[in-house]
Amino acid sequence: MDCFNYPLDTKTLRRKRAKIYRELSEKPGLIEKKVAVLGGSTTNDVVDMLSIFLLNHGIKASFYQSEYGQYWQDAMFGSPELDAMNPDIIYIHTSWRNITDFPQMDMDKSTVDDLLENQYQHFEAMWTALEEKFHCPIIQNNFDRPNYRLMGNRDIWDYRGRSNFISRLNQRFYDYANNHTGFYINDIDYLAQDYGLSQWNDAKYWHMYKCAMNMDAIPYVAQSVASIIKSIYGRNKKVLALDLDNTLWGGIVGDDGVEGIAIGPEVPAGQVYAEFQSYCKNLKDIGVVLAIDSKNDEANAIAGLNHPDGILRPDDFVSIKANWNPKDLNLSQMASELTLGVDSFVFADDNPAEREIVHSQLGVETPAMDGAENYIKVLDHGGYFEVTNFSGEDMKKTQMYHAKAEAKKAQAAFADYGQYLDSLDMTAYITGFEPIMIQRVAQLTNKSNQFNLTTLRCSEDDIRQMQDGGKHICMAGKLVDKFADNGIVTVVAGEIEGSIVDIKLWLMSCRVLKRGMEDLMMNEFVSRCKEKGVGKIVAHYYPTAKNSMVKDFYGDYGFTLENEDEAGNRTYSINVADYEQKPVHINL
Amino acid sequence: MNREEILSKINEIFQDAFDDDSLEISESTTANDIEGWDSLMQMNLIEMIEDEFEFQFTMDEVAALKNVGSIVDIVASHV
């Protein structure tokens, strides 16, 4: 829905909230999550807005809210309701109003330092308690700027200034975030500035409603929290598909020629587009994949992308569709080539008519790219590519997709598929869930949808517990071939009960589909079962909207179908002794 | 805008807020007459009225609200 895109239509969001909630709740394929909101102010409105923003990302949340202002008590001493809920995510909604002690003008530096430490410890003790009890991600607001600056400009740099004190306290929060996975800052300091600090701090809302900020700003707060949550659960967008003419440069390359388009330092219009190209290039560094979807002759498109003053080059894109086909058709083709869902795309085009077609045909997000000077702002405020976990793999995404395309081409040249696989010089490394891999393994369980038998989503703690608990066979597989190091691409975990192992988790990244990696993993899994004295393997397939490709996975390995319920949930089993090793083309 | 027009627009706001298209209010309607019209809903209603008529209530105005009629009074004084 358009009201969710920047600039937010806060009027509609408020007015039609009940209706929007009702409609979005009926969408198929929603995942359910339990969210505890621990507030230092009124949180009802935050929860109301958060619920529809999350639904818009396909997440149906049930909420716990602490009693007014009881965030700290709930965390430290528990509440029966909160404990019973056992939340998936905790959001701590505090603001500068919750700082209980500020520096006074007659205090010396070390007194203020002690004060800061006290205020900080109040929070850290709470995070520790929550972490120990619930082992789930925590989202914590930082502090916004306060309602006045007693010393004027001096307030921000003098240790006695409230502004300075808050800035230092925030820095302590960030240090904690840097040292703790599963802890995320919701940057209301930025939101307040972006909204306009005087409006944000309109005191009426605090004194009348005990609402920490202007109620009109709450949709922005909810959008921000929802962006973090959806990112944690693997619902980020992955691909930015871009138009060319008047999107990546000014003018029309087919009409104006390469010399005639506006890009580069010479004129203001050229500078605006160059800055936008730089922004897109930076997106690549956080793992966003770029593509072109443009009505153009391909030769003109490539020529435009090779403009000497341009920043982006043809090989920055994993796919360039420059032709005269409808753009929605190009986009869905691109999606299937990259083995991604169209819901992983954001489509950026200056032409509202093209946006409308792509949006109505495919439901793809199409931010309102009106005015080249607004492009960066519109995309950046959309929260499409919110980074929560960042791994080295993310920086190499484009390279990996390129390698995949190369591999597809190479494949065409071989008559026999086995010969082709041999030519890839593949080497696999199979290990348990080593500490260094935990983040990536958890990320995969949350991101993989297609080649995923049980769609079991795991936090980093869940993964750690499997590895350390001694009850699981844990396997992570990394695959290197002559084109690229694909990194960890497959994760398997089975729980041992006596002489039976139950496969709780079996997933693989689609980027290594049809390489035989799954055969190797199965061979290895069975070997490990033998080592552990396991006689029988039980396995499951739980259908989702996206994983039908692995419906018959276990059947293909000779497992017997024991049971299938009405929803299509299947249970399989096999005696370890009956398993026949599959031939593979990968070195171990 | 006369009182009837204002009341009619406020009625639409109430219908959206309570997600009930059959809801009909009058100037004498109070919070006791509508299930779910609590202090939290009151916050939301005021925000929606501010959006619709493009002005901001002062704290004193909010404090003095008694029924729908008093909302109409305040709106009428601003538009």
CA atoms within 13 A on the CB side of A575: 2
A215 touches chain B (CB under 8 A): yes
CA-to-CA distance for A177 and A186, rounded, in angstroms? 11
Look at residue A535 and tell me whether its pLDDT is greater than 80.
yes
Of B67, B7, B69, nearest to B31 by C-alpha is B67
Cβ neighbours of A45 in B, within 8 Å: 40, 43-44
Tens of pLDDT, residues A278-331: 999 999 999 999 999 999 999 999 999 999 999 999 999 999 999 999 999 999
Contact A307, A256 (CB under 8 A): no
Report CA-CA distances (Å) from A270 to A81, A135, A273, A299, A307.
Answer: 58, 50, 5, 21, 12
Q: Which residues pair with A552 in a beta bridge?
A: none
Amino acid at A458: C
Residue of B nearest to A209 (CA): B43
CB A106 within 8 A of CB A150: no
Q: Outline where A338-425 has alpha helix (H).
A: 352-362, 375-382, 392-395, 397-412, 417-423
Q: Is B43 on the interface with A (CB under 8 A)?
A: yes
Tally A–B CB contacts below 8 A.
37
Q: Does A44 touch chain B (CB under 8 A)?
A: yes
- Interface contact flag, A45 B44, Cβ < 8 Å: yes
How is the beta sheet containing A138-141 ordered, strand by strand? Answer: A59-65, A31-39, A89-93, A138-141, A183-186
Q: What confidence score (pLDDT) does residue A170 get?
A: 98
Q: CB distance from B61 to chain A under 8 Å?
A: no
Is A532 in the B-facing interface, judged by CB distances under 8 Å? no
CA–CA separation, A453 vs A544, rounded Å? 9
Q: Which of A526, A507, A457, A511 is nearest to A479 (CA)?
A: A511
Rounded to whole angstroms, the Cα distance separating A567 from A546 reads 15
Question: Does the beta carbon of B1 lie under 8 angstroms from any beta carbon of chain A?
Answer: no
Domains of chain B as residue ranges with CATH = 3-21+35-78 (1.10.1200.10)
Confidence of residue A409 (pLDDT cuts 50, 70, 90): low
Euclidean distance between CA atoms A219 and A45, whole angstroms: 9
Per DSSP (E only), the strands in A424-535 are: 427-431, 472-480, 485-497, 500-508
pLDDT digits (tens, 9 = 90+) for A161-193: 999 999 999 999 999 999 999 999 999 999 999
The answer, for B51 touching chain A at a CB cutoff of 8 Å, is yes
Can you tell me the distance from the alpha carbon of A398 to that of A318, in angstroms, rounded to the nearest whole number?
6
Q: Does B64 touch chain A (CB under 8 A)?
A: no
Which residues in chain B touch residue A215, judged by CB atoms under 8 angstroms apart?
43, 47
- With contact defined as beta carbons under 8 Å apart, do A237 and A384 qualify? yes
Nearest to A45 among B17, B43, B62 (CB): B43
Which residue among A14, A18, A44 places its CB closest to the CB of B51?
Answer: A14
CB contact under 8 A, B17 and A18: yes
- Please, which pLDDT band fits residue A5 given cuts at 50, 70 and 90? confident
Whether residue A161 contacts residue A104, with contact meaning beta carbons closer than 8 Å, is answered with no
Nearest to A172, CA basis, from A108, A135, A221, A121: A121
pLDDT computed for residue A392 by the predictor: 72
Contact A167/B at CB under 8 A: no
Q: Cβ of A211 and B19 within 8 Å?
A: no
- Given a cut of 90, whether residue A541 has pLDDT beyond it is yes
Chain B residues with CB under 8 Å of A14 CB are: 44, 47-48, 51
Fold of A239-382: Rossmann fold (3.40.50)
Residue B44 in contact with partner chain A when CB distance is under 8 A? yes
pLDDT for A346 equals: 97
Hey, which residues 263-292 in chain A have their CB within 8 Å of chain B? none
The answer to whether domain A239-382 and domain A412-578 are alike in fold is no
pLDDT-based confidence at residue A237 (cuts at 50, 70, 90):
very high
Q: Where are the domains of chain A?
A: 2-232, 239-382, 412-578
A211 has a chain B CB within 8 A of its CB: yes
Phi, psi (deg, nearest 5) at residue A191: -60, -40
The arrangement of strands across the sheet holding A289-295 comes to A317-323, A289-295, A239-242, A345-348
Whether A67 contacts chain B with CB within 8 A: no
Q: What is the mean pLDDT of chain A?
A: 93
Q: What per-residue confidence (pLDDT) applies to A486? A: 80
Mean of pLDDT values over A567-586: 92
CB A431 within 8 A of CB A475: yes
**What pTM does this model have?**
0.76
Asked if the C-beta of A482 comes within 8 angstroms of chain B's C-beta atoms, the answer is no
H-run or E-run covering A560: strand A560-564
Mutation target for B interface from A25, A43, A44: give the one with most B CBs within 10 A.
A44
Who wins on pLDDT, A105 or A443?
A: A105
Min distance B59 CA to chain A CA atoms (Å): 7
| A50: Cα separation from own chain's centroid | 17
pLDDT at A413 over 80: no
Residues of chain B positioned with their CB less than 8 A from the CB of A11: 51
pLDDT at A549: 84
Angle at A26 between CA A20 and CA A27, to 5 degrees: 95
Q: Distance (Å, rounded) from C-alpha A167 to C-alpha A179? A: 19
8 A C-beta contact, residue A6 and residue A348: no
Residues A464-489, mean pLDDT to the nearest whole number: 89
CATH of A2-232, one of 2.60.40.10, 3.40.50.1110, 3.40.50.620, 3.40.50.300: 3.40.50.1110
Contact A45 B48 (CB under 8 A): no
Q: With 60 as the cut, is the pLDDT of residue A397 above it?
A: yes
CATH architecture of A412-578: 3-Layer(aba) Sandwich (3.40)
CB contact under 8 A, A15 and B62: no
- Percent of chain A residues topping a pLDDT of 70: 98
Packing angle, helices A438-447 and A460-469, rounded to 10 = 120
pLDDT in tens, A346-358: 999 999 999 999 9
| Rg from Cα positions in chain A | 26
pLDDT of residue A420: 76
Closest of A472, A514, A487 to residue A428, by C-alpha:
A487
Q: Average pLDDT of A565-573?
A: 93
In whole angstroms, give the CA distance from residue A482 to residue A406.
11
Rounded Cα gap, residues A583 and A519, in angstroms: 8
Average pLDDT over residues A52-75: 95
* Amino acid found at A127: W
Q: Do A14 and B62 touch (CB under 8 A)?
A: no
The two tokens of residue A296 are: 């153009």
**Interchain contact, B48 vs A211, CB within 8 Å:** no
Among the residue ranges A122-136, A227-241, A432-446, the one predicted with the least confidence is: A432-446
Do residues A125 and A76 touch, judged by C-beta distance below 8 A? yes
Q: What is the dihedral of CA A66, A70, A76, A82, to 10 degrees?
A: -10
B39, B43, B59: best mutation site toward chain A, by most A Cβ within 10 Å? B43
> Is A210 an interface residue toward B (CB < 8 Å)?
no
Helix (H, G, I), strand (E, B) or coil at A265: coil
Whether the pLDDT of residue B79 is over 90: the answer is: no
* Contact status of B55 with chain A (Cβ, < 8 Å): no
What's the burial of A51, exposed, middle or buried (CB within 10 Å: 0-12/13-18/19+)? buried
Q: Does A52 touch chain B (CB under 8 A)?
A: no
Chain A contact set for B18 (CB, 8 A): 18
Report percent pLDDT > 70 for chain B: 100
A18 and chain B in contact, CB less than 8 A? yes
**A216 contacts in B (CB within 8 Å)?**
47
**Is the bond into A219 cis (omega within 30 degrees of 0)?**
no
- pLDDT-derived band at A1 (thresholds 50, 70, 90) equals low
User: What are the beta bridge partners of residue A32?
Assistant: A60
Per 3-state DSSP, what percentage of chain A is helix, strand, and coil (rounded to 5)?
50, 20, 35
Q: Is the pLDDT of residue A247 over 70?
A: yes
Q: What is the pLDDT of residue A548?
A: 85
The larger pLDDT score, comparing residue A3 to residue A206, is at: A206
Stretch (H or E) spanning A89: strand A89-93
Q: Closest partner residue to A14 among B19, B40, B48, by Cβ? A: B48
